[in-house]
A and B are shown apart, each in its own frame.
Chain A
Amino acid sequence: MNPEHCVIIGNGPAANEAALTLRGESRDLRITVIGQEPVRHYKAYLLPEYVSGKLAEDDLYVNPPADHRERDIKLRLGQKVETVSFDTREIILDHKEVVRFDSLIVAVGGIPRIPERLQVFSDLFLALKTLADARIWKQKLKDAETILMVGGDLTSLSFTKALLAMGKRVIFMINEDSFWPLRFDDEIRSQVTERLTAKGVEVLNRRTIKGLAGISENEVEIETDAEKLSVNAVGAFFGLVPNVKFLARSGLHIDRGILVDDYLRTRFAGVYAAGDCAQVYHPELRDYWVSIGYKNAWNLGKIAALNLIGGKIRAQAVAQSIFRVGGIAVNTSWWTEF
């Protein structure tokens, strides 16, 4: 008889913790982890320091290369899930492979958000979410002096710090609909402006971007309602959105993220979601929340795994660490850093 097959989609903290927890609890389970990026599990929050050169690539990785093999966890990297069929319990990979599962944990995390009105300029924005992004930045920064940061999520702040440390000139355009995961108000605006200015950042407030144009490989021109700027690179930091588009019309309940109950269960038996892609209702907040941050993801991955094999553990967010943005609340452990 074939052993039960548990597939984990994603290769971040939630996914890896889920896999390790499952293996810790069961020797018989067949476990497959499918990661879209072609690299091993790394600490994404350290990427700014990797870009600045403070850390080497090897410092980012979490597990030694042979770790998964030793634990008999099949790790499949650089492979993308195209869709999931819950009727037949099949995962379809984008190279047209069919993988059958008995249970499933979706822990795909988030992807950088670009507001709809700016999506026509997507090509000119650089994000910093993946190691691949970081490599592009590293390359770019070799001969870039002036960087424009647009938006203003938490990654942008640590990245700004890293850029300043590299001696770059940073212009920061604070964008109210995107200062994620915070709901933006004047108090925060002035607080942020003050902090950044003190560190030598040129802060632009209340601007509307009218157009972006790539002048050359190394020059982007930005037109706002107030001025025209010319910079070497533009970083887009509008926060993350759960990377769940591939599950559209799969039958899962999806709003921003995958809607799960307190036990991280989706509406299908044996199917869980964890980490930055899960959306949970919180009675105290009177709102849904989505976790961000390494620790939260790690924790949710563990809970999903334990519940999958019969546990009954509630995922709970601490209200103080939850912030609202655009109708959605987020739980973060990063905020304390700022």
Chain B
Amino acid sequence: MTVEVCGMAGDGTIAAGGLINEAMSLGGFSVLGFDSYPAEIRGFGRCVTRSRIGSEEIVALADRTQVLISLDDEQSISRVPFLVDNGGVIFDNNPSGYREETKSLAAKLEPGISLFGMPLGDLATGASGTVRGRNLTALGAFTAIFGVPPDLFRKAISDKFTSKGKAVLEANLKSFNAGLRYAEEKFKDRATPVFDVRNKLGSGKRVMLSGNQAIAKAALDAGLKLYFGYPITPATPIMEYLAKQLPQRGGRVMQMEDEISSIGAVLGSYYAGARAMTATSGPGFALMTELITHGVMAEIPAVILNAQRGGPSTGLPTKTEQSDLHAAVFGGPGDSGRIVIAPTNVEECYAMTVKSFQLAEKYQTPVIVLTDFYLDNRVENLASPAASSEEKADWNMYPHDSTRGKYWRYASTESGISPRALPGTEGFIYTATGLEHTERGTPDYSPENHMMMSAKRYRKIMGALADLPSPVEFSSGRELEVGVIGWGSTFGSVLEAVNTAAERGLRVGALKITSIFPFHADVIRSFMNRCGHVLIPELNYSGQLANLIGHLHNKDVIRLNMVTGVPFSPSTILFEIENLVGAGT
């Protein structure tokens, strides 16, 4: 079941969606939630939260919505096409003024939709003295109508609001109860209980995490010491999370004056031996490119999270997109190969962030973790993640004591990895620089040197493949009619589409790629060559992953590109798979 809450910015839409996720998670359901909201704070934009709730694991958002909770009818009209034919709509039937038929939600609905109109604002005002609680009133109604045990919500509300003081908590509970009571009474004959909480998903402790929270938690677990950042949507929550947590572990968060200074400070920190990171989005990432290449050149580790949003330029700050792949892999002056990895779900957000610290330190290079607005902001409930001691270990290659006094910082080793000394260590003094340099670190622009050092740096980066997660295949057979390759947040939709296609009897497979650069060309090529068609759905216009790996196939890969600002719909991919099966035979 998918529940949507839609309202104007400021209506408490996001809070309501969050409570649905928490409550249903407490009830033992698998939850995947995602919000979208406008750039304006209290402006005139639409907020939508979508929560997919199920008793089995959920990998993607669904296309259609069963329940729409409208906190603003005019905005909610845009959500009507997503409603299933027999869906339900909870809305305020006593808004502050009259509205024309053209702006009325009720006017747009098909007759099969159940309308649950109630005076949300009035009830909230009556219960708590302010109309602000109408989102909770609506949740009360949801609870009553669909048979959710109210205590799940009460617990979720308490968890959320206890820290805001007793009065706030009380007001919210009152609003919730008012909606619950009203709906129990008014809709008692129409209630359709659908949630059976006895049917719990595993008893393991599940936590509700967004991608951003998982990343921040992973950074903490991986031994982060310093965080430098600059506010930007959608990466800011990572800084906010760390600002609270990091000092308790002896670290510090510093909000810098811009992204340029943020990445600069990260490099400085790693130079001196402390794990540091920064998180940004496209525009900030662009600002960082110069210093990232400095990190490549000077072989200073750095962890940079790029939470992608719609671009180019300021672009679509609150929309999801996967269009920074090229910038991440290739962006910046010079041949500046660096490691780029991209998790596909919240669990991987955690794992790959931990991994990024290991990789950065081991390979002495900036590591870019690519997420996107959807992955950062969607919430999933999962078993509480933890990092192993091996993952947390110090992976830096320190210079051997025997080299004391004759230390070459950039020694051209077989692996390309040169021992890295930390400032403060006696006998290993060197200068890191962004100028091309010799193995000793002294500037040198000679053709031989530049050739040799470039080769060294690429040898090092390509060697990281050994430590990078290999692509994972999900297939229903060996010879496939269609193989779908997905990366990032889109992969969940790919998997759901492929699973559905397989259920329908098609021979299809999905390949998940999380290592973007360097990538496992052999594995990818062998998969491709088993497929009649290779389909690569991406949320970008130019097919950036296809551009990167398409040459591995013996014929053209098929690109499916969307830049609608919303997550990929499984049914779009399924439609394309079925088309290809039809066309290919």
Question: Is A113's beta carbon under 8 Å from chain B?
Answer: no
Cα distance A38–B258 in the bound complex, in angstroms: 56
A77 to B104, CA, bound (A): 14
> What is the distance, in angstroms, from A36's C-beta to the closest C-beta of chain B?
11
Sort A-B residue pairs by CB-CB distance and give the 10 closest, nearest first: A95-B93, A97-B104, A78-B115, A75-B111, A77-B111, A99-B101, A96-B98, A95-B117, A132-B189, A98-B98
A310 beta carbon closer than 8 Å to chain B: no
Tell me the dominant secondary structure on chain A's binding face: mixed
Contact (Cβ within 8 A) A76 B189: no
Q: Mark B90-120, 1 if CB is under 8 A from A, else 0.
A: 0111110111110010110111101101000
CB-based nearest A residue for B116: A78
User: Can you list 8 residue pairs at the A/B interface with Cβ under 8 Å?
Assistant: A65-B111, A76-B111, A95-B91, A96-B97, A96-B98, A97-B101, A98-B99, A99-B107
Q: Are B99 and A96 in contact (CB under 8 A)?
A: yes
What string of 1s and 0s marks CB contacts (under 8 Å) between A108-152 and chain B?
A: 000000000000000000000000100110000000000000000
In chain A, residues 71-90, which have Cβ atoms closer than 8 Å to a Cβ of chain B? 75-79
Question: With A and B bound together, what is the CA distance between A95 and B110 in angstroms?
Answer: 17
Closest to B101 in A: A99
Interface residues in chain B, defined as those with a beta carbon under 8 Å from any beta carbon in chain A: 91-95, 97-101, 104, 106-107, 109-112, 114-115, 117, 189-190
Nearest B residue (CB) for A136: B189
Cα A9 to Cα B94 in complex, Å, equals 21
Q: State whether the Cβ of A94 lies closer than 8 Å to any Cβ in chain B.
A: yes
- In the complex, A40 has a CB within 8 A of chain B: yes
Chain B residues lying within 8 Å of A253, measured Cβ to Cβ, are none
Contact indicator A93/B100 (Cβ below 8 Å): no
Which residues of B lie under 8 Å from residue A164 when comparing CB positions?
none
Interface residues on A, range: 20 to 34
Q: What's the minimum C-beta distance from B326 to chain A, rounded to whole angstroms?
A: 46
**Minimum distance in angstroms from A2 CB to a CB of chain B:** 11
Given contacts A95-B94, A100-B101, 15 further A-B contacts (CB under 8 A): A38-B115, A38-B190, A40-B111, A75-B111, A78-B117, A79-B106, A93-B106, A95-B92, A95-B117, A96-B93, A97-B106, A98-B101, A99-B101, A99-B107, A135-B189
Q: B24 → chain A, closest Cβ, in Å? A: 26
A168 on the interface (CB 8 Å rule)? Answer: no
For A135, the chain B residues whose CB sits under 8 A away are 189
A20 CB to closest chain B CB, in angstroms? Answer: 15
Q: Which of A38, A97, A132, A136 contacts B107 (CB under 8 A)? A: A97
**With an 8 A cutoff between CB atoms, is A286 at the interface?**
no
The reply to whether A96 and B111 contact each other, CB–CB distance below 8 Å, is no
How many Å from the CB of B85 to the closest CB on chain A? 8
B371 to chain A, nearest CB (A): 41
Contacts of B91 in A (CB 8 A): 95
CA distance A132 to B186 in the complex (A): 12
- In the bound assembly, the distance between CA atoms of A68 and B112 in angstroms comes to 11
Taking CB atoms, residues of chain B closer than 8 Å to A75 are 111
Q: Verify B107–A69 contact, CB threshold 8 A.
A: no
Which of A92, A96, A100, A132 has the most C-beta atoms of chain B within 10 angstroms of its own C-beta? Answer: A96
CB contacts (< 8 Å) of A98 on chain B: these are: 98-101
CA distance A312 to B241 in the complex (A): 75
A76-B107, A76-B109, A77-B115 as given contacts; A97 in contact with B99, CB under 8 Å: yes
- Taken together as a complex, chains A and B put the C-alpha atoms of A128 and B119 apart, in Å, by 28
